[in-house]
Structure 1
Amino acid sequence: MSLNVFLSGEIHTDWRQQIMQGARELGLDITFSSAVTDHDSSDAAGDVLGAESNPFWRDHKSAKVNAIRCKTLIEQCDVAIIRFGDKYKQWNAAFDAGYCAALGKPYITLHGEDIIHPLKEVDGAAMAWAQTPDQVVELLQYITRNA
């Protein structure tokens, strides 16, 4: 089975690379996509539409431009992996999870045990909760396995 997997969330660690490498090593037929993970580029996505003196409007424009990419990729994916990291709160990841749930797209959450409580609703709609990228790779291997 071939899968299109959207990787959403935290951008400060190499979890995406670990999952993609693990899938590659197992020869899984998976195409990965993601939001823009370069923080400065993401923040500047709307700058092409004109300079803003108020940071709210700069963020507003960039969020909308970034949403074009994310909404399209989520709509096209077969499954999403939603990563919540330790360093920052990933409101964008929670939004992506909600969008997946609204579309009926299956998603897997990836986060540590220490944030189970604040993510109870997000995890409640997820098809699985993983704590490590290796667990995600094992899930993807199972999902794509030919019976």
Structure 2
Amino acid sequence: MDVELTCYLSGEIHTAWRDEIEAAVDELDLPVDLTGPVTDHAASDDCGVTILGAEQNAFWKDHKGAKLNAIRTRTLIGEADLVVIRFGDKYKQWNAAFDAGYAAAQGTPYIVMHGAEHAHALKEVDAAAFAVCETVEQVVAMLRYICRGELVRPTPSLSVVR
């Protein structure tokens, strides 16, 4: 019997890791509905001032955008059965750490994905996670196991997450 999941994909927006997970979920026909933040960086940054009006001070510009993005993020994490949080190596993803804390506070299980170089910096985030991994293939193998009970060893591919 398949377990159906809604999975929120949080974190780093500058690589194609979400697309890779989506392609694998589609290829394996897993019963997983993927959701996530707005990944168009400019749209995410400018949504507040575009919709609500310009701001002279950068703080208030960011404040407006953060509040609008939080409506989406909190709603979708609240509806999720599972959250996957990717920490990339190029930028500090403070929002991803916040999403991990929010998921934990809501009692929503989450998986953290990051390289070994971030293990120390993310030790508290990792400690509350249900799993910590480094690759898209590992995430897909976990989704396959959770949904179908099928145990497979992840195999390397052309994943951007290494």
Same-fold call, TM cutoff 0.5: yes
Partners of 1:40 and 1:121 lie apart in 2 by 30
Partners of 2:26 and 2:116 lie apart in 1 by 27
After the TM superposition, which segments of 4 or more aligned residues of structure 1 sit over 2 Å from their partners?
none
Other structure's SS at 1:44 match:
helix
- Letter paired with 1:120: K
Q: Deviations over 1:21-73 (max 9, x none)?
A: 11111110110000000000000110111110101100000000000000000
Structure 2 counterparts to residues 34-45 of structure 1, below 5 A: 34-45=36-47
- Which of 70, 74, 78 pairs up with 2:73? 70
Unpaired runs of 5+ in structure 1?
none
Unpaired runs of 5+ in structure 2?
151-162
Structure 2 counterparts to residues 1-147 of structure 1, below 5 A: 1-47=3-49, 48-145=51-148
Superposition TM-score, scaled by structure 1 size: 0.98
Partners of 1:135 and 1:24 lie apart in 2 by 16
Partners of 2:100 and 2:37 lie apart in 1 by 13
- Letter paired with 2:8: F
Partners of 1:42 and 1:146 lie apart in 2 by 37
Partners of 1:20 and 1:139 lie apart in 2 by 14
Superposition TM-score, scaled by structure 2 size: 0.89
Partners of 2:101 and 2:122 lie apart in 1 by 12
RMSD of the TM alignment (CA)?
A: 0.9
User: Which gives a bigger RCO, structure 1 or 2 (Cα 8 Å, sep 6+)?
Assistant: 1
Partners of 1:58 and 1:137 lie apart in 2 by 37
